[in-house]
Amino acid sequence: MAESSARKIVIFDTTLRDGEQSPGCSMNLSEKMEVAQALVDLGVDVIEAGFPIASPGDFEAVSEIAKVVRGPAVCGLARCRTEDIDRAWEAVKHAENPRIHVFLATSAIHREHKLKMDKSQIIQRAVAGVARAVGYCSNVEFSPEDAARTEEDFLCQVVEAAIRAGATTVNIPDTVGYATPAHMGHVIRVLRDRVPNIDEAIISVHCHNDLGMAVANSLAAVEAGAGQIECTVNGLGERAGNCSLEEVVMALRTRIDYYKADTGVVSQRLVPTSRLVSHITGMHVQRNKAIVGRNAFAHEAGIHQDGMLKERTTYEIMRPEDVGFTTSDLVLGKHSGRAALASRAKALGFRLTGEQLNTVFDAFKRLADKKKEIYDADLAALVEEQIRGVADVWSLESYQVTSGTNRVPHVVLKLRKGDEVKSAEMDCGDGPVDAIFLAIEELAETEVVCKDFRVHSVTVGKDAQGEVTVELEYQGNTYRGRGISTDSIEASAKAFLNAINRIVSLGNGEPETPRPNV
Ligand code: KIV
Ligand code: ZN
């Protein structure tokens, strides 16, 4: 728990901006609202809700989040351009505590090749950008993009000028994930030693994970005096992602003795929030992922199990319940009632309305007819499927497929769209799943390329539910889908349809507006 002498580190979550920039992680408005609410419950300090100039959808999401979120600051990203900053302000102005985040690249590589600007032009543009944002609100963050590869002297000059122009947070991005912990710590110390007005702003870090060091680099920055960490749930973000929120938060909390710093994050919300983001984005969390992975607290080795039974701390530095894993062995079955279901769902971190509970209960009864024991993981997958589905433009009515060695599969598929049921019967594909995918493409009149297809079992046993995830490419964009069922072919069909529905609901079949190159 927090030591009274611990320094409070500001947690700036950018899941909805940098995280959403990962291919295939686009979210629609209601999904973004749900993630924003989860971030409030998680206790982050700043929510970077999007890049308002990037598209009308981004603008709307930032502005809706600004209107409803209470507690954390709501931030919109802008390049150092008048139109970006004005648009960002339009979007965040309703927030209880609005923040504008302006950025401009400062490294020689970016100056020469991307911006074609010299150092004095960069300083001028950065100062003008910060000043324009300060004209709108007092909470302004400035990021010298690619700071980790910027010459130290020049970085100090830019940071000093940005603070003089009114920036209250100066963020040091390792945009390409090039830094090492010692390097990052050094940069922060240089800024603290050489920038005369550095104490007038909070120093922040924004580390990418290209070399797998984003969390270590962020921690090194904190050790050197940074006061804000930019991070994302499940480490989502451009390329290899950003600093993982759950890891950096638990590193600080667990090693508070060393860092003498902590955050306001409610650690018990980490697993539910990770699950939510994984479900919404379709981005699977690897089993051995620190803190929130399914195996993060599983002890397999006999010696470890023996040690755990004697004294938990022999092999455990955190308790699973501290990060939001439930520890109960309660298993539901077909005789379990609505109250038992509601209580398990609550323990798993879901807040269901009466209507949602009814829907989940009906689905639970259907599942209990097929599967004797329903574990927490089954229930979580079921709740997510029922309450967090993408709006079902197309849904699976029924399927039949016959296939075998040396024969082309025969598929009969019925899909529902509103009141209309469309059916297709065809011989196609090189297996039952491929045949169903082709039939769906035919009925939905949407041609896609399947880039990835994975089947996982939700729990153990022959009757375990299969969870299928697919990644489809459509008009140059990536869309993910997920489906669960005790029948893995049906789960595949549902996952494929989920991605097709995402194509229809996110892009209306049109490619998304390309984002300005960040
Ligand atoms: O990685 C980066 O440099 C960014 C900035 C916009 C902060 O995302
Ligand atoms: Zn970034």
- What pLDDT was estimated at residue 301? 73
DSSP assignment of 184-221 equals HHHHHHHHHHH-TTGGGSEEEEEEB-TTS-HHHHHHHH
For residue 27, report the distance from its CA to the centre of ligand 2, in Å: 18
pLDDT level of residue 196 (50, 70, 90 thresholds): very high
- What pLDDT was estimated at residue 514? 43
Task: Please report whether residue 220 resides in a domain.
Answer: yes
pLDDT level of residue 477 (50, 70, 90 thresholds): confident
- What pLDDT was estimated at residue 153? 98
- What pLDDT was estimated at residue 387? 79
Looking from the CA of residue 105, the nearest atom of ligand 1 is: 3
Q: Are residues 159 and 261 in the same domain?
A: yes
Q: How many CA atoms lie within 13 A of 495 on its CB side?
A: 31
The total of structural domains in the chain comes to: 4
* Residues within a 6 A CB radius of ligand 1: 18, 103, 143, 145, 171, 173, 175, 206, 208, 518
Task: Say which range, 58-67, 266-275, 443-452, 496-505, has the weakest mean pLDDT.
Answer: 496-505
For residue 274, report the distance from its CA to the centre of ligand 2, in Å: 19
For residue 351, report the distance from its CA to the centre of ligand 2, in Å: 32
Show which of 222, 254, 281 is a domain's final residue.
281
Write the pLDDT tens digit of every residue in 110-127.
Answer: 999 999 999 999 999 999
pLDDT level of residue 515 (50, 70, 90 thresholds): low
Q: Are residues 376 and 411 in the same domain?
A: no
Q: Are residues 106 and 224 in the same domain?
A: yes
Most confident range (mean pLDDT) of 74-78, 326-330, 333-337, 340-344 is: 74-78
Domain residues for 311? 295-325
pLDDT level of residue 384 (50, 70, 90 thresholds): confident
Does the pLDDT of residue 4 top 70, yes or no?
A: no
Q: Are residues 240 and 300 in the same domain?
A: no
Q: Are residues 312 and 354 in the same domain?
A: no
Ligand 1 atom 1: residue of nearest CA: 175
Ligand 1 atom 2: residue of nearest CA: 175
DSSP assignment of 337-383 equals -HHHHHHHHHHTT----HHHHHHHHHHHHHHHHH-S-B-HHHHHHHH
Write the pLDDT tens digit of every residue in 6-31.
Answer: 999 999 999 999 999 888 888 889 89
For residue 458, report the distance from its CA to the centre of ligand 1, in Å: 35
